[in-house]
Amino acid sequence: MKKLMTTLSCFLAVFAMMADHVTVSSKADFEAAFFAERTNDQCDTIFVKSNGTAIGLNNGKDMPKAGKIWIIGVDNEEGKMSGIKHQWNLPINQASDKLSVFFENIVLEGAGGTANSKYYFQTKDSNYHYIDTLKFTNCVFQNYNRALFRVQPAEKTNGLKDAGDINYFGVEGCSFHTGYQKSDPMSMFRMDMRVAEMVFRENLFYDLGYVHSLIQFSTMSDEAGRVDIDFTFENNIFIGWNSQNSLMMFDQYVGQMSSIKINNNMFLVPNWYDAYNNSFIGDSIAQANPDTLSNPKLHHVASVQFGMLEFMNNVLVGYKGPRENITEDGEGQWLMADTIYLTQEDHGFDWSIFTDAKSDLFNVWKGEKVYTAGVEGAPIGVASLYTDEKKSVVNVTIAVEGSKSAIVKLNEQSGVSLSNKFITGDEITIEANRKGMLNKFLGWSDGVKDAVRTITLTSDLNLTAEFEEQPYIAVWNLEQLDKNNVKLDAPLAANYAAEEGVYFLKYATHDGTQYIDSTTQAIMTRNNKISNDYTTDLRNCLFVHTDSASFADKTPSDYIYFEIPSVEAGSYLLFNIGTDNTAYKTTNVDVSLDGTTWETIKTADMYGDYGHWIQVEAEMPASLNGKKAWVRIKGDETSGYYSPAQLEADFAAGTAHRTTEYLFVSEIFYVKADFVNAIPSVNVAPADETIYDIFGRRVMDVDNLQPGLYIQGGKKFIIK
């Protein structure tokens, strides 16, 4: 089997010669780097640094036509992988174009929901698409939709369906999980195009959801120019039931001299059912037919009509070997078949060899037969999952006590009570999260006071994080936001409230005659960065967005407000304001007894050459005690405009124009009088000086200062 083309240049030179490289952490930066025009020999490396989350990218864009691009994820300090959410079309290019894309150490997620039309890579048009190399190394494929790679070309004017060529398609050291859960037919890799070489090695497939098939070749008839393929599938673990008669379908759509090697794998149908495994069974079927799980319908690992097949030393549970797909006229005899079928006695497989497969713990002790049952004594399955010592399951449970707003975190999980299974020797990170100023952390049930702990597991662990909840009345911290520019309906209920169903945030805009409440998608939000003197602070915030005409004319500005059924003596409002664009210089806190006539009780001014988060504290007047009242946060139209210095210079130069009001309001707390706000004595500054953390945020709970850098009186001090 010959490759369609050979391209080795730049494979190692990209690192050795320090070719063009960039580190990105946003959609705009990633897309600017990835979609840039390149020549065939141009090499670029994109380091993705997204702090353990996935950057959502625009859907439906064509991949670049040429060049060699490495996309490498950078783990954060806690070891969490970076990732992207994408849906790209294959490049529309010519055979002379050489595009290679290498993904390494990155999480790849599906974008655009669970619709049938969503894929990682796809084409369904009549254009040609040429890729030299598409390779994935040590990647995680998760939350994907229906198919990962879909090529279904439209018919050309000559009546043929020819999508183009891929020289090398490789997937090594990757995991695939939490896949498509609907029952619409589509292979995970639908390859209706010429592929010279395809390699799957050392991959783990589990919790797959609905599986039509793993790989399907179609469309590429002899007339359409099908080619011989070098196909290798070795040392993989595939756990799942597929709906088609064969897991991998080559049939007549690859050339007569194709080489297909399927060795040292585990093909396993789970003997349990849940949301991602045998979900079609359910309790009723399992009860009516108890042997459904123990005796599943056997499907073939592969369906092959042409070529040379090597199928050796695989563990088959719920699967059977490849089948010859003979045409109606008798064609399709394999040129050669080299097979070795292992018995259970040979490989010794039982589900119990895994630490706990149902809990996604797939480690196997090297003392099991499967470790040396492969071809020439090699391991069967993913070699990196084998351990020198037999691992045991460790159960970990952590929970919150004393608070309805605090949470605990266990690695990637978060909630008020968490349980998970690990194996002995695993290192976990747990955290008692106070939700900002809402709680005081008292310590863990085992006496440890550190809010964040890293623990190496030797036995079951059961811990409680003990909190003392602050006396808040209503809090809007917008913790439900997971991305920028989300529009929420008004009225917006408080995230936390002393009394449920009472406190709602509203958005008022002036119609030229009077203020009216906006409702559907009325509350705009941001996940916004504002540079201050110390660092860059990322916050969820509300966006007061008086339209450009009203803002330019300084006519009545928009505002946010809420009602208080009965004002409690000494209660006060805490929030932060800022802008990275333009806003009124002064922001007012106003109160009213009727929602119409307002009295200003607090003002706060924007200041400085940079955007600052500025904390505002406004105590409710004693005259309102026991009365129903309205409170609003509003830009003062009489105060003039404020923008960061560089933007003001751009306005003056005419390179930018003042349009909409950009008043950001974050962390709205309406709290009781005894909410912690006293600043005790700190040796580095007078006791009446406010303390700020490294993000420029005022620290309210100074009795519970965590280790870190703080600023008081313009001086920095460290808590160790």
Q: pLDDT for 519-557, tens place per residue?
A: 998 899 887 666 543 334 567 889 999 998 999 889 999
Residues 480 and 606 in one domain: yes
Do 194 and 71 share a domain, yes or no? yes
Q: Residue 506: inside a domain, yes or no?
A: yes
Position 447 pLDDT exceeds 60: yes
- For the chain, state the CA radius of gyration: 31
Listed ranges 111-115, 147-151, 715-719; the one with the highest mean pLDDT: 147-151
Structure tokens at 474: 């209503």
Which of 182-187's residues contact partners 24+ apart within 8 Å by CB, and which partners? 182/114, 182/116, 182/146, 182/210, 183/210, 183/243, 183/280, 184/116, 184/146, 184/210, 185/212, 185/243, 186/116, 186/146, 186/147, 186/150, 186/212, 187/147, 187/212, 187/213, 187/214, 187/215, 187/216, 187/249
* 175/236 Cα distance (integer angstroms): 10
Tokens of 388: 């020198």
Q: State the DSSP code for 297.
A: P
Q: Each residue of 594-638: pLDDT tens digit?
A: 999 999 999 999 887 666 788 899 999 999 999 999 999 999 999
CATH of the domain at 531: 2.60.120
Within a domain: 211: no
CA within 13 Å, CB half, 94 = 3
Question: Is 412 exposed, middle or buried, given 0-12, 13-18 or 19+ CB atoms closer than 10 A?
Answer: exposed
- Same domain as 190, residue 60: yes
Which residue, of 372, 388, 404, is where some domain finishes? 388
The answer to whether residue 52 is domain-embedded is: yes
Q: Is the pLDDT of residue 6 over 80?
A: no
Q: Is residue 316 part of a domain?
A: yes
- Please indicate, yes or no, if residue 47 is contained in any of the structural domains: yes
Residues 599 and 504 both lie in one domain? yes
List the domain range (segments joined by +) for residue 37: 1-110+130-142+163-204
Query: Which neighbouring-strand residues pair with 121?
Result: 88, 149
State whether 687 and 625 are in the same domain.
Answer: no
Q: To the nearest 5 percent, what fractions of the chain are helix, strand and coil?
A: 10, 45, 50
Closest CA to 363 of 329, 343, 394, 388: 388
Does a structural domain hold residue 593?
yes
Reported confidence tier of residue 11, pLDDT bands at 50, 70, 90:
very low
Q: Which two tokens stand for residue 389?
A: 């010592």
**Overall number of domains in the chain:** 5
Residue 104 near residue 70, CB atoms below 8 Å: yes
State whether the Cα torsion 618-619-623-624 is positive or negative.
positive
43-44-50 Cα angle (round to 5): 160
Q: Are residues 97 and 193 in the same domain?
A: yes
Specify whether 376 is located in the same domain as 513: no
CATH of the domain at 412: 2.60.40
Inter-residue contact 277 to 270 (CB < 8 Å): yes
pLDDT in tens, 124-136: 888 999 999 999 9
**How many other CB atoms are found less than 10 A from the CB of residue 168?**
21
Tell whether 367 and 268 lie within a shared domain: yes
Residue 568 has pLDDT above 60, yes or no: yes
154 falls within a domain: no
Min mean pLDDT across 243-247, 440-444, 598-602, 676-680 is at 676-680
Q: Do 516 and 530 share a structural domain?
A: yes
Q: Are residues 660 and 696 in the same domain?
A: no
Q: What are phi and psi of 664, to 5 degrees?
A: -100, 135
Q: Is residue 188 one of the residues assigned to a domain? A: yes
**Strand pairing category for 614-619 and 572-578:** antiparallel
**Same structural domain for residues 637 and 682?**
no
Q: Do 483 and 423 have their domain in common?
A: no
Distance separating alpha carbons of residues 304 and 121, to the nearest angstrom? 25
pLDDT of 691 strictly over 80:
no
